[in-house]
Amino acid sequence: MGQATLIAFIVYLIGILVIGIIMYRMTNNLSDYVLGGRKLGPGVAALSAGASDMSGWLLLGLPGAVYAAGLAEAWMAIGLSIGAYLNWQFVAKRLRIYTEVSNNSITVPDFLENRFKDNSHILRVISALVILLFFTFYTSSGMVAGAKLFEASFGLDYQAALWIGTIVVVSYTLLGGFLAVAWTDFVQGSLMFLALIVVPIVAINEMGGWNTAVQAVGDISSTHLNMVEGVSIIAIISSLAWGVGYFGQPHIIVRFMALRSPKDVPMARFIGTTWMVLGLYGAIFTGFVGLAFISTQEVSVLGEFGISVITENGIQMLEDPEKIFIAFSQLLFHPVIAGILLAAILSAIMSTIDSQLLVSSSAVAEDFYKAIFKKEAGDKELVWVGRIATLIIALIAALIAMNPESTVLELVSYAWAGFGAAFGPTILLALFWKGFTRNGAFAGILAGAVTVIVWGGFLSGGIFDLYEIVPGFLLNLVLAIVVSKSGKPEEGVEAEYEETMSKLNV
């Protein structure tokens, strides 16, 4: 990496840490730390939700998948776009109102306990356990992405790169909590958006235009041009099913809870959906054009930038497809711009890790420490418990990420399925069905989480190649309805539901 690139990169990191320090001074209690005091405007909430959602997957995982397999991987982007829109359309406003009506709930486990009047705390505990389990893997995926970035950009050893990236993200999350996360996500989301628009446009222009680029890709691999050739129905369903995962992602739906007003939802939905669709297209085009571009580059030139290539079937390809965006940044742009683009990749990574660490630490502080062990704990004590939990969770995630063979997409896929199957049907039924019971919610969450663990971890081949979120989501939904039908809600649950509905159209 050139000196100018390095300087641009470091200036960005310093700016992010400054935001963390400023927000540290504005974080006075646990509500501020985990929900920002419900003060987010629509723009910040939308870009924060998008940035925390997309992670390094958008700039590394998805371009890498399209680079390696072609447009068949675009089914996933279609599913995600539809799912994100439906999440804003049907969940955001109801959840924002319901969490405030239901004892001003500030975390997902907190909401589920209050929604069902669960004095046993069983919903809070099982929800917090699911959050800690799957977020550890999700956070680990971000750390793998960060390590790949530092490794490719600075020529660092993978392990050293991993720990440097971990320290940077944990530092500002520890300092400023939710406000630091939301505002850094806003900056990072804006930077990611610009990078995903600029890089593919410049790359396509460098190839001689869109038609020339498509022709070049087709000459290398005709299957890269086809969304259905060689793709099974199970693979298409699995890719589209990523969209249903949105309803259960705690780090995304918490942005709905943090909006300053339910009236901000339409504007936030427009901003968030536009950001996502254009960003996904940019990521797809980056990977698509990258195949033809890398095949024509001199090995000596690639070597100067530390870009490793291999030859497959007579075609020169990246050794690690997930580094295609990094390669474009280094090969096509001035060193200062390259530094900014590499900062955009780090933005994608950091904006998700910080959100995941925050939700996980709030689960420890609010849903274990306060609810189970020390009910009289004060706000300052809980904030510090959250900060200590952040350190511990980050350490465990980093240890999981120490395997350099880990891929960003595999780790994200597993965690996304876990949350989507465990919480997706639960959140939807809680918001739309008055007769949903505590036992139904518990049975559904447990069924969804266990199905993902068993299906994804121990079964393979044939029908078991179906993405584990599909059976997990369906089993949760069916079991939650059947169990709820056999009982009735706790006293006060239906009245609170009616109160929420009465405020929905105000």
Distance CA 157, CA 274 (A): 38
CATH of the domain at 263: 1.20.1730.10
Tell me whether residue 268 is in a domain: yes
Distance of CA 151 to the CA centre of its chain: 22
Tell me whether residue 489 is in a domain: no
143, 162 contact by CB (below 8 A): yes
**What is the three-class DSSP state of 260?**
coil
Tell me whether residue 421 is in a domain: no
Tell me whether residue 423 is in a domain: no
Half-sphere exposure of 312 (CA within 13 A, CB side): 12
Tell me whether residue 436 is in a domain: no
367, 124 contact by CB (below 8 A): yes
Specify the number of domains making up the chain.
1
pTM attached to this predicted model: 0.83
Angle at which helices 335-362 and 158-206 cross, to 10°: 130
Host domain of residue 128? 3-403
215, 62 contact by CB (below 8 A): no
Cα angle for residues 331, 333, 339 (degrees, 5° grid): 100
Tell me whether residue 210 is in a domain: yes
Tell me whether residue 499 is in a domain: no
**pLDDT tens, N- to C-terminus, the chain (506 residues):** 557 667 777 787 777 677 666 766 655 555 555 555 677 788 878 887 777 777 667 888 889 989 988 898 889 899 999 999 999 999 999 999 999 999 888 788 889 999 999 988 899 889 988 988 888 887 887 787 778 777 777 777 888 878 877 777 677 666 655 566 667 677 777 877 888 888 899 989 988 889 998 998 888 888 888 888 778 899 899 999 999 999 999 888 888 888 888 899 999 999 999 988 998 999 999 999 988 888 888 887 777 777 888 888 788 888 888 888 888 888 888 888 888 777 777 766 766 776 677 777 777 877 777 777 777 777 678 777 877 887 888 888 888 888 766 666 677 788 899 999 999 999 999 999 999 999 999 999 999 999 999 997 777 666 778 999 999 999 999 999 999 999 898 888 999 999 999 988 76
Cα angle for residues 339, 330, 80 (degrees, 5° grid): 80
Proportion of the chain in helix, strand, coil states, percent, rounded to 5: 80, 0, 15
479, 443 contact by CB (below 8 A): yes
Distance CA 369, CA 373 (A): 5
